């Protein structure tokens, strides 16, 4: 009967299994000949970056579904996906900074990808703020869905314009990403792919847990108002 709970249980076990395998691979991976052990943070960084974008795709799909079908389930799923995506974006920025300090010599550079990721995080936060600032649940659902779609249209333009701006301006002077074509050696690539797959399961698990929480709290609110009405 309860599909969400089943999804949650399944993805939970799957995450545990996949993370176990992936982390074993990460621990056994050789250290990079230039970056030594700092390279290991990329096993968290890269999958997080992918997941922060993937969660936005999920938000957008659910938002279209909200507008077309007025589905409450889609609204719950959209509401649940945003904080998960924001968390992944924040982890991406944090791990990128930690990696950047020893590798680039700076915590932060206004590189194209860093800037777009930061904007993505702000858009996630904006979505969450908009949702909580509207009292009428119907209005809140529609407004947030429209905003999510506007953001989905804007994100490629932002990424494109920031990249263009940087390349028109000057080529990356520090050894930033894109400065040289980067090849990842096989022994590092396998754990990276394993981590990416594990993170997909992790993201889905977090999404479903959050969706169940939101659904439960909405039901509770509903029961509360019904209880008051009946005295």
Residue numbers of the site for other proteins (CB under 8 A)? 67, 115, 119, 122-123, 125-126, 129-130, 133-136, 139, 142-143, 145-147, 149-151, 153-154, 157-158, 160-162, 164-165, 168
Q: Based on CB atoms, which residue is closest to other proteins, 134 or 214?
A: 134
Q: Based on CB atoms, which residue is closest to other proteins, 36 or 138?
A: 138
Q: Based on CB atoms, which residue is closest to other proteins, 143 or 193?
A: 143
For CA atoms 94, 177, 150, 68, the dihedral sign is negative
Helices in the chain by DSSP H: which ranges? 3-28, 42-69, 72-104, 112-133, 137-169, 186-229
Minimum distance from residue 177 beta carbon to other proteins (Å): 20
Minimum distance from residue 82 beta carbon to other proteins (Å): 13
Minimum distance from residue 135 beta carbon to other proteins (Å): 8
Q: Based on CB atoms, which residue is closest to other proteins, 5 or 122?
A: 122
Minimum distance from residue 162 beta carbon to other proteins (Å): 7
Alpha-carbon distance of 182 to 180, in angstroms, equals 6
CB-based contact 62:81 (threshold 8 Å): yes
CB-based contact 104:36 (threshold 8 Å): no
Distance of CA 223 to the CA centre of its chain: 32
């Amino acid at each position: 009967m309860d599909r969400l709970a089943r999804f949650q249980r399944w993805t939970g076990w799957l995450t545990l299994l996949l993370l176990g395998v992936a982390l074993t691979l990460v621990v056994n991976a050789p250290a990079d000949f230039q970056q030594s052990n700092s390279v290991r943070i990329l096993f968290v960084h890269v999958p997080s970056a992918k997941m922060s974008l993937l969660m936005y795709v999920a938000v957008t799909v659910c938002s279209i579904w909200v507008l077309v079908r007025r589905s409450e389930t889609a609204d719950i799923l959209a509401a649940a996906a945003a904080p998960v995506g924001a968390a992944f974006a924040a982890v991406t920025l944090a791990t990128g900074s930690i990696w950047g300090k020893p590798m680039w010599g700076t915590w932060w550079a206004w590189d194209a990808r860093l800037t777009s990721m930061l904007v993505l995080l702000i858009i996630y936060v904006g979505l969450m703020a908009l949702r909580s600032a509207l009292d009428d649940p119907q209005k809140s659902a529609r407004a947030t869905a429209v905003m999510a779609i506007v953001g989905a249209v804007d994100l490629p333009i932002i990424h494109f314009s920031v990249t263009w701006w940087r390349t028109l301006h000057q080529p990356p002077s520090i050894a930033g990403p894109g400065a040289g074509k980067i090849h990842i050696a096989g022994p590092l690539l396998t754990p990276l792919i394993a981590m990416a797959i594990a993170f997909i399961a992790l993201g889905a698990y977090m999404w479903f847990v959050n969706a169940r929480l939101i659904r439960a709290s909405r039901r509770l609110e509903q029961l509360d108002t019904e209880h008051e009405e009946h005295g």
